[in-house]
Amino acid sequence: MTSSYRYIRSSSSPSQNQIEHEENGCRLYVTDLSSKCTKIDIEKAFEKWPLIEIWHAQASCFAFVVLRRQQDGQEAINELDGR
């Protein structure tokens, strides 16, 4: 899976506000995915960290991954960036 990961925060998303408030979570914007990449591939790449949600736009080659904790988000970025 070829991709880049970057941490983003959105105060306009009600679900994100809830995550940040309740669990201090984070949302990652995953870009440059292969057109062959599936949601299962993304789940496998992030299996090390507790996932809340994955939204995958396969036709557009990007996804949003919501993790439970901000520190998990930074750890995932450090480990998966450029992979």
In this structure, what CATH number is given to the domain that contains residue 68?
A: 3.30.70.330
71: tokens are 């520190």
pLDDT at 56: 95
The token duo for 52 is 């809340």
Q: What is the DSSP letter of 39?
A: H
Distance CA 27, CA 46 (A): 12
10-58 pLDDT, tens per residue? 434 444 433 343 456 789 999 999 999 999 999 999 999 999 999 999 8
Q: Which residues pair with 67 in a beta bridge?
A: 26, 51
Domain boundaries, position 61: 4-80
Q: Which pLDDT score is estimated for 61?
A: 92
What are the phi and psi torsion angles at 71 (to 5°)?
A: -65, -35
Residue 56, SS3? strand
- Predicted confidence (pLDDT) per residue in 60-79, tens digit: 999 999 999 988 999 999 99
Domains contained in the chain, number: 1
